[in-house]
Structure 1
């Protein structure tokens, strides 16, 4: 069978009409209270027609975990009705939509954060400042906030959830040895550093049930010696695979160290490395903007889906053009 962008695929029990995914890209248009606005409804609805799946931008599960002062959140029941307008706009096009749930940890916006927390008292930079190490009670509280956010996600009409474990935010901070120097059950070995992720996943899965699609976005490398690698991530994800429906592979963000070069498909090697070890679909992302390259990746089984972000910001019809080319 020849795989192309137009080939359908299942994420858990959810059938996607094609393998092109709208990646989560921050809009910086939320209100001070983190409510979604008409901008979000128009933005996602306008771009939903041709992609197989829309993933809404990072959405805060806690008032103390917002990434920016103008992001959106799902940390109260009042947020649900605004997010529901987004899912309804996307569903007009018979396209499923996931929400990306996040907590910024030590990278939470200082302007709207009352208590900066992280696995360890290690600052990301001077702008954010030094966080307080989370107590066990604090860890359990945030896990409960993830569960409640998942409950609200279902109420808002989302078809699935992406757990944000990438780009240096709280879950990534726990998993990486560069930001986690704890000596308790949440630090040290790979298994211990992944414990917070596992418990978040277990709490969400317990809330939404076994058939609701859950995927995870990771940063497969920290771009620094002693940091995370695709191989370690594969070892971490493997025991969790039965609870996950796909893995979305990005890179970086835990340190202020950019990749040496951002070239076409620069994150594909990490996605391909992880795909060797897992059975669930792998989503590749990062400057994969031509139909020929996307189809090559899929046909060679380097990844199972392609996510695109920035081109859809510039051109809401980019997916249509890309898929038309793929059909020739």
Structure 2
């Protein structure tokens, strides 16, 4: 079968009308209480018309895990109503929407974080400061916060969940030996370092059941010797494959190191390497801005879907240009982003 952007894609029973995904991109418009507003409703509604799937911006599962002081959250029942307004607006375009659940760990916003935590007491940089190493009770508490966030995601009308395990945030911190030097059951070997992710995933599954799509966003490489590589991710995620419905492959963010060059589809080799070992869809992201490039990636089975972010921020109709007229518009080079 020849694949193209307009080919439908099924994620655990949910069929997307095409393989173009709106990637999660922060809006920095949340209230001090992390509540979404009119901006979010209008922003996502305008961009949901043609894509196959919208993935909402990173949404905090804990008051102490917000990535920015003006992001949005889902850590209380009071957050549900505003998020339901967003999902309703997106559904008016017959487009499904996933929520990206996150906890910043040692990269939680200093402005709104009262207790900085991480798997180990290793600072990301001076801006964030040195975190407190989580106790076993603290780990259990955060897993419970993920479970409750999954329940609220259902109540808010989301069609699926993306677990944010990329860009140096808490789950990524547990997975990488650069940020996890624990000596207990959550550190050391890759089997131990993936334990936190596995328990978060299973907690989410207890709320959403077996028929609900759950995907994961990862950083395939830490861009540093001794850090994570696609081989590590394959070893850690393969035992979890039956619980996951897609892998969204990004890179970097766990240490203050950027890729040496950012070019068209610069993250694709990592996605392609991972795809060879999985039967679930692989989502490629990173400067894939024309239909010819996207279709070539799909035709060559290097990935199963394409996510775009910045072009949709600049132009709400970018997906229409890509899917219907054939080419997107020119997009200025972007700096490496941890969104």
Shared fold, TM over 0.5? yes
Alignment of 1:179-198 (within 5 A): 179-198=179-198
Distance 1:280 1:163 in 2: 15
1:75-128 residue CA offsets vs partner (Å, 9 max, x unmatched)? 000000000000000000000000000000000001100100000000000000
2: CA distance between counterparts of 1:2 and 1:248? 21
| SS of alignment partner, residue 111 of structure 2 | helix
Query: Secondary structure of 2:162's match?
Result: strand
Question: Quick one: distance in 2 between partners of 1:184 and 1:13?
Answer: 38
- Structure 2: state its 5+ residue gaps: 328-339
Q: Kindly report structure 1 stretches of 4+ aligned residues shifted beyond 3 Å.
A: none
* CA root-mean-square deviation: 0.7
Matched, 1:218 2:218: yes
CA distance in 2, matches of 1:161, 1:13: 14
1:25-79 deviation line (CA, Å, top 9, x unaligned):
0000000000001000000000001000000000000000000000000000000
Equivalent residue, structure 2, for 1:129: 129
Q: Which residue of 1 aligns with 2:4?
A: 4
Match of 1:274 in 2: 274
C-alpha separation between the residues in 2 aligned to 1:3 and 1:103?
Answer: 35
- Between the aligned partners of 2:106 and 2:276, the Cα distance in structure 1 is 32
SS in structure 2 of the partner of residue 112 of structure 1: coil
Rounded to whole Å, the distance in 2 between the matches of 1:237 and 1:101 is 18
How far the C-alpha of 1:325 sits from its partner, in A, is 3.2
Contiguous gaps of at least 5 residues in structure 1? none
**Following TM superposition, by how much is the alpha carbon of 1:326 offset from its aligned partner in structure 2, in angstroms?**
4.2
Does the 8 Å contact 1:6/1:326 carry over to 2? Answer: no
Alignment of 1:197-276 (within 5 A): 197-276=197-276
1-structure distance, mates of 2:238, 2:2 = 28
Residues 1:36 and 2:36 are matched in the alignment? yes
Show the counterpart of 1:315. Answer: 315
Displacement after TM superposition at 1:11 (Å):
1.1
Query: How do residues 98-177 of structure 1 correspond to structure 2 at under 5 angstroms?
Result: 98-177=98-177
Partners of 1:264 and 1:191 in 2: CA distance: 34
Provide, for residues 233-271 of structure 1, a one-character-per-residue CA deviation record: whole Å limited to 9, x for no partner: 011110000000000000000000000001100000000
1:4–1:326 contact (8 Å) kept in structure 2: no
Q: Is the 8 A contact 1:144 1:203 kept in 2?
A: yes
**In the alignment, structure 1 residue 96 sits paired with structure 2 residue 110:** no
Structure 1 contact 5–326 (Cα < 8 Å) conserved: no
| Residues 1:83 and 2:78 are matched in the alignment | no
Partner of 1:178: 178
- Counterpart secondary structure, 2:158: coil
Contact 1:291 1:325 survives alignment (8 Å):
no
